[in-house]
Structure 1
C-alpha cells in the first residue's frame, strides 16, 4: 500500500503540534532498545539505508505498531525536554534519523534530528512555551546551539 507523501508530512506536522502541547513523546522499547527501522529515503556514503528510531505523539498510535517484530515492545513515555536534549542531539551525533508517526504498515515520516529540533522550537515559541533543559538555558540557547551546528 502506497502512502502519499503529503499524508506522511501532515502526520509529522501533527506530531510536532501534539508533542509541543503535551510535552510527551512516545517510543516502543524492547529488551535491546527502542523500535528502529531503516530509512527508505536516505543513504550513507556506502549506499546503505541510514538507521532510524521511531517516535509517536499518541499512545494509541504507538500501540497499533506493537506487532510483528515489535510485538514484545512496551510503550514508553519520554518527556519532551529529555527527547530534545538526549535523543535528538544524541541521534544527530550518531548519524541516525528520526521516524515519526509510523503506522501499522510501518509508513512514517523521516527527518534529521536537528531539523526536528528547529521545527519544535518554532512550534514551542508559537505556543509561548519555554522548556527546562539540563544543558541549555531555555529554548533560545538551544536554538542558538543547533543553528551553529547546522550552518
Structure 2
C-alpha cells in the first residue's frame, strides 16, 4: 500500500471506510486487530466495549499510539473471525468497531457484519 492510498482511505467517512473494509477483508481473507498482552478494546461514551478491526495492517498500525503505543497489528483469518471471534464477542457483549481512524468509526451489530461479509464473499 502506498502512503497516498492510506491517507485518502483514512479520511473517508466511516460508512465509506466500512464498505472498503468489507471489500478488502473479503479480497484478502483476513482482518487486522491490535495486540499487546491482549487485544485492543475501546469504550464508547456509554461504557460499551468495542473491539476495533481494520482491513489492512497499515491502517491498524496508524492507531497504535497513546495507550496502544506498544500494540502491534496482528492478522486474524477471516473464517476464524466470522465463525469464532464474532459469535464469542456477541456472547460477551462486545461490538465490533470497524476501521477506526482516531476520529470516528463504524459500530454495528455483529449479525449485520456477518451478513455483509457473507454477501461480499458470494461474489468470489
* TM-score when normalising by structure 2: 0.85
Contact between 1:39 and 1:110, CA under 8 Å: does it hold in 2? no
List structure 1 runs of 4+ shifted beyond 6 angstroms.
none
Q: CA deviation at 1:39?
A: 3.0
What residue is the counterpart of 2:9 in the other structure?
A: none
Contact between 1:36 and 1:54, CA under 8 Å: does it hold in 2? yes
Q: How many residues align?
A: 113
2:81, 2:110 → 1: CA distance? 10
What residue is the counterpart of 1:117 in the other structure?
A: 114
1:57, 1:29 → 2: CA distance? 15
- Aligned match of 1:17 in 18, 23, 26? 23
What residue is the counterpart of 1:64 in the other structure?
A: 62
Contact between 1:99 and 1:108, CA under 8 Å: does it hold in 2? yes
1:69, 1:16 → 2: CA distance? 27
Structure of higher RCO (CA pairs closer than 8 Å, 6+ residues apart)? 2
In structure 1, the gaps of 5 or more residues are: 1-5, 41-47, 128-151
Instruction: Please provide the CA RMSD for this pair.
Output: 1.4
| Structure with greater strand share of residues | 1
- Aligned match of 1:51 in 36, 49, 52? 49
Which structure has the larger Rg over C-alpha atoms?
1
Q: Secondary structure at the match of 1:57?
A: coil
Contact between 1:62 and 1:75, CA under 8 Å: does it hold in 2? yes
Distance 1:57-1:21 versus aligned 2 partners, 3 A rule? same
* TM-score when normalising by structure 1: 0.71
In structure 2, the gaps of 5 or more residues are: 1-11
1:89, 1:114 → 2: CA distance? 9
Q: CA deviation at 1:106?
A: 4.3
